[in-house]
């Protein structure tokens, strides 16, 4: 399975702090045990392999909603396999995804998102898959 990553995720992948990645569902469903080929700058002439030392160990369904109002008040809600995570679980989740904090996770997903009709900036992903390469499940 080929996975492209932004440069910021290379170090967390290699040092083991990034334990999974969140992606849209794929047409071809990857199989447990399949090798994960991780690259940065994918689909460019500067493509570079990060690693091919991991295999797919598990998948989970994830949905999240991140909202920020005009006063900069924000909320993050995450469900994994239909179960809503509490605030301490959300903190652990974002760190296992290679982010330094919930704020870092929020900013990443809200980057480039424009306000909607009621003034909220909303970044969300629904029915995405968590691809794990460790035995840590959420």
> Is 124 a residue whose pLDDT tops 80?
no
124-130 mean pLDDT: 83
In a domain, 137, yes or no: no
**Total structural domains within the chain:** 1
111-135 mean pLDDT: 76
3-state secondary structure the chain: CEEEECHHHHHHHHHCCECEEEECCCCCCCCCCCEEEEEECCCCCCCEEEEEEEECCEEEEEEEEEEECCCCCEEEEEEECCEECCHHHHHHHHHHECCCCHHHHHHHHHCCCCECCCCCEEEEEEEEEEEECCCCCC
Query: How much is the pLDDT for 120?
Result: 59
* Average pLDDT value for the chain: 89
131-137 mean pLDDT: 86
Query: How much is the pLDDT for 88?
Result: 96
In a domain, 138, yes or no: no
In a domain, 39, yes or no: yes
In a domain, 50, yes or no: yes
Give the residue numbers spanning the domain of 96.
Answer: 2-132
Which position has the higher pLDDT, 112 or 61? 61
Query: How much is the pLDDT for 118?
Result: 57
* Positive or negative: CA dihedral 36, 128, 29, 32: positive
> Is 77 a residue whose pLDDT tops 80?
yes
100: left (phi over 0), alpha (psi -120 to 50) or beta: alpha
Cross-strand partners of 84: 79
Q: How confident is the model over 3-50, as pLDDT tens digits?
A: 999 999 999 999 999 999 999 988 888 999 999 999 999 999 999 999
Long-range CB pairs of 79-83 (<8 Å, 24+ gap) are 80/130, 80/138
Cβ neighbours, 10 Å, residue 75: 10
């Amino acid at each position: 399975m080929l996975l492209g990553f932004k440069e910021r995720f290379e170090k967390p992948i290699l040092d083991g702090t990034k334990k999974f990645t969140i992606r849209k569902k794929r047409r071809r469903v990857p199989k447990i045990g399949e090798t994960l080929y991780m690259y940065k700058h994918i689909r460019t002439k500067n493509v570079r392999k990060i690693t091919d030392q991991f295999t797919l160990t598990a998948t989970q369904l994830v949905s999240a909603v991140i909202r920020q109002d005009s006063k900069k008040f924000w909320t993050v809600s995450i469900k994994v396999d239909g179960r809503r995570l509490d605030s301490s679980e959300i903190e652990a989740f974002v760190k296992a995804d290679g982010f330094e904090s919930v704020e870092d996770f929020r900013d990443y997903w809200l980057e480039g998102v424009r306000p909607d009709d009621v003034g909220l900036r909303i970044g969300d992903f629904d029915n995405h898959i968590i691809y794990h390469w460790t035995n840590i499940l959420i």
